[in-house]
Amino acid sequence: MTDETKTEQQEPKVDFDLDLHTYRLLTAEPFFAALSRRIHKVRTTAIPTAGVRMNPETANFEMLYNPKFFADMPDNQKLGVLMHEMYHIIFEHVTGRLPPEGMNKMWNIATDLAINSHIMDDLPEAGCIPTRGRFESYPAGMAAEWYYSKLQQDKENGEGPFDPEHGDGGEGGQGDPDSLDNHDGWGEADSETRAMAKERMRQAVEDAVKEVSQRGNGWGSVGADCRKQIMDMITPKVNWRSVLRYFIRTSQRANKRSTVRRVNTRYPYIHAGKKVNRTAKIAISIDQSGSVSDSMLAAFFAELQGLAKYAEFTVIPFDTEVQEDKVYIWKKGQRRIWERVSCGGTCFDAPTKYVNQHAFDGHIILTDMEAPKPVASKCQRMWMTTPDCMERPYFSTNEKVIAIDK
């Protein structure tokens, strides 16, 4: 897709401006509407259909489209093609996500199959659509790499879309990737430009997510699996075990006591030396509403085994209140940790007030965060939850929130 856009004399006579139609087409797709505004649209006859590319000079993404291709297309198919192109950008097909063999037609088909799984009912019939036509034996919802491997295997065996009846795709026919969009130029820029483009797109996707996060159905038709992939793309990978260790170490207090076993470096042999012990009293509040799974608790307390030398841990089961007779000090090796002692609603004020009254140095709350924001804590507080709950927090907070991904 290296051809320059046509000059004024070469502009097609078809009067179709995609920018003028984008808002109307994406009314029910707030996420894609927000992302589309961040992608420049280029009208051209250099390609017969549509396509996305990374401008090698600016490292910005562009969507090229032939007005004639869009002009007579039903609205639902216009919407499907728009979403198809943006999915290519989101899933990094444009910036170098390629098989070991490099760019080839089979990879084109594989990426289209992966994307079209999510928009099957809103595409021209000529597209590569799993479970339909030439690809009726291909399941929907798989990654591009899976489809690529399956295509290679079927081609070797002359099966599926590569049996003698179908040939290798049929130019312009059903299952020909070029009949829907153009993939020229993918991954051709130098590594520095690709890295810059990927970061710009990551930021654009993050901004789009923030823009729609407060809406009731801001994701539109984007399914749960896709949402997770998108959130993984924009969320820095954080090692929750390292964060937990850091939280405990920064909660420690220094306790000094005199000892003749250490030399006083300022007054040797006159005054006793000092020994410094660093320790912390850490409260671990566990939401009993059923939102904290046994596997999550097992992973958390397994990590705590190696941190017992740095702190004393007090386990506080809670729902809408704290039953003080159920609170206990956890010891290394103890297996009582994931017994549920109550099962009700959730109120974060209950454990916070308990912790504030008992002079703890740090407070960790294991929960799904689905309750109102609690009162302020007198010690540093950290929230530990699941990856899914981090996507849809019930309230915002400046305190540390980390997901336990086992």
The pLDDT tens digits along the chain (406 residues) read 444 444 444 554 567 888 888 888 788 899 999 999 889 899 998 888 899 988 888 888 899 999 999 888 899 999 999 999 999 988 888 887 777 777 788 888 999 999 999 888 888 877 889 998 889 899 998 999 999 999 999 988 888 888 666 555 444 455 565 666 778 777 777 777 888 888 888 888 988 888 887 776 678 888 888 888 888 888 766 789 989 999 998 888 866 555 545 555 555 655 555 555 678 999 999 998 777 888 888 889 888 888 988 899 999 999 999 989 999 998 876 655 555 555 668 999 999 999 999 999 999 999 988 899 999 999 999 999 988 787 667 787 889 898 887 6
What structural domains does the chain harbor? 8-234 (no CATH), 240-403 (3.40.50)
The CA distances from residue 99 to 102, 108, 132, in Å, are 5, 11, 25
Query: Is 406 strand, coil or helix?
Result: coil
Tokens matching residue 98: 């390629």
**Cβ(21)–Cβ(74) under 8 Å?**
no
Distance CA 114, CA 142 (A): 6
Could you give the residue ranges of the DSSP H alpha helices within 18-143?
18-25, 30-36, 67-71, 75-90, 105-116
Question: CB within 8 A of 403, min separation 6: which ones?
Answer: 238, 240, 384, 385, 386, 387, 389, 390
* pTM exceeds 0.75, yes or no: no
Tokens matching residue 238: 């954080």
Distance CA 245, CA 257 (A): 26
Q: Are strands 380-385 and 400-403 parallel, antiparallel or unpaired?
A: parallel
